[in-house]
Structure 1
């Protein structure tokens, strides 16, 4: 029995399946958010994070052996800094979808794998290769393709606030992904508590800025629960499992498919009007991400810093 459990735990299909599940669930965020228009964005973020915290409580992995306790500084980073990143990412995401078209905002939001790649490469290698810089330029060029026509036509408009919030959400997700690679912090095991703290943070900000509102409809609450349990609950646990896989450096490339899938779901559902810029921008984001993740042959495959490797 122990041998079978060990083989399952180290199966490459388990890590790949977990990464694919997280990617599909994240790609559904813009579409699910479109069904919750009755809720203010910050209130929606607080409820979705609360649903994610309650949903992941029985699924969070618990260790039976003792680990080294966190230092006071690490506790502040884990229980204050990380929830702040999650609150910023989810709150900025939903606010961006209200201020800007969902398709454009989603593509900008899902440039976070490129930002994560830039930061992790800089920490791992102490430098950025030419391919990484060129790939990042292509990815951000795809996002700029969606923004520049509005800038040339009418200058700064209301949608620009949504674009800026989408970029802020991308930055928060990139920093969260970087923090999740610190093995000693074990964010996957602490995920319910982190989501709960993030929900309280966003909920307090919602009361201060959005005031009180009537109770949402049953359909809006159901969509919010699905949003929290899926993309911000199960998906984050699945991604944490994938990033602890020995092939994590390859599985991470699956995140580059999120903007394409998100755009496809929005167009198929009729939320976003088909536009020639959307597929071209998505292609540039994916091509740039894959180019940035490829290291020159003379340097060999990228390996995570020693402090980020699984122990």
Structure 2
């Protein structure tokens, strides 16, 4: 597999994550950790089906337990910290801080063997972050009493960026291992649900279809293609391009009438596109 094709495969995760908001709306009133437990279970089943079809069960036996622990903490830790941050701080501010992870991926990638971080990579990531912030944190007002929630959101950003970058150091670990990560994250999510939430189920068929779609896509297949992308693709381009997810997500909500269109969408699109272009240009200069 070439670096370019792996980057393309990894970018599919960004498109799938753009559907996260729309599909999550459809799962109301299922609480977050209960939803995670259901979706991660579906994501794990997807992995098992792939392993069964390719007859690659033996690949899982050679994976160290430490790697399974690492992957589980990456998937579950990110979601646990994200939802906890949203409980402890206003969503706009918490969302903006949490969405520092693409920028952190670009910065941390410079520490990887064989990777060269150029100034344009950083400029591109910051430019795209500015574009995403127009959507993610519209009307945000940072207040001292929410510092704990901000800290959780920052920890969330570091968790996913560290998971993504360190996954590249595990290039020999088969992507099939993500199935185990998903099942373990589903178990931890179920425990968090038992202790932190009240169980609720969808009241209409659309709710169950939304849960199934989430598990198949944004909280399922996305983790497998992202694993391929960060291990074998251009991680700097993937990091910068990830800022397209909130823009695409908002556009999808507008198309389906969930939210109203805003002029800031156009400005955001320009910033994100320019930022991604700068990162891509810098990568071409490096290759």
Pairwise TM-score range, normalised by the shorter structure: 0.7 to 0.9
**Shift of the alpha carbon at 1:93?**
4.9
Tell me the distance in 1 between the aligned counterparts of 2:250 and 2:153: 15
Find the residue that maps to 1:150 and give its secondary structure: coil
**Shift of the alpha carbon at 1:87?**
0.9
Find the residue that maps to 1:58 and give its secondary structure: helix
Find the residue that maps to 2:260 and give its secondary structure: coil
- Residues 288 and 122 of structure 1, relative CA distance in 2, 3 Å threshold: farther
Find the residue that maps to 1:295 and give its secondary structure: helix
- 29, 36, 40: which one aligns with 1:38: 29
- Residues 287 and 65 of structure 1, relative CA distance in 2, 3 Å threshold: same
The equivalent of 2:286 in structure 1 is 301
Tell me the distance in 1 between the aligned counterparts of 2:8 and 2:278: 23
- 240, 245, 261: which one aligns with 1:274: 261
The equivalent of 1:87 in structure 2 is 76
Tell me the distance in 1 between the aligned counterparts of 2:112 and 2:3: 29
Tell me the distance in 2 between the aligned counterparts of 1:282 and 1:156: 31
Tell me the distance in 2 between the aligned counterparts of 1:11 and 1:178: 16
The equivalent of 1:115 in structure 2 is 104
- 129, 140, 164: which one aligns with 1:150: 140
The equivalent of 2:48 in structure 1 is 57
Deviations 1:22-67 (A, max 9, x none): 3321211111111112011121112111111112211146658879
- 239, 263, 266: which one aligns with 2:226: 239
Does residue 229 (structure 1) correspond to residue 216 (structure 2)? The answer is yes
The equivalent of 1:195 in structure 2 is 182
The equivalent of 1:175 in structure 2 is 162
The more displaced of 107-116 and 21-30 is 107-116
Tell me the distance in 2 between the aligned counterparts of 1:178 and 1:239: 11
**Does structure 1 retain, via aligned residues, the 8 Å contact 2:28–2:202?**
no
Tell me the distance in 2 between the aligned counterparts of 1:42 and 1:66: 30
The equivalent of 1:28 in structure 2 is 19
1:244-263 equivalence runs, <5 A: 248=234, 252=238, 254-263=241-250
Find the residue that maps to 1:38 and give its secondary structure: coil
TM-score where L is the length of structure 1: 0.70
Find the residue that maps to 2:259 and give its secondary structure: coil
Does residue 213 (structure 1) correspond to residue 213 (structure 2)? The answer is no
**Count of residue pairs the alignment pairs up:** 280
**Shift of the alpha carbon at 1:114?**
2.4
TM-score where L is the length of structure 2: 0.75
Structure 2 stretches lacking a partner, 5+ long = none
**Does structure 2 retain, via aligned residues, the 8 Å contact 1:19–1:251?**
no
- Residues 296 and 236 of structure 1, relative CA distance in 2, 3 Å threshold: closer
RMSD between superposed Cα atoms in Å: 4.0
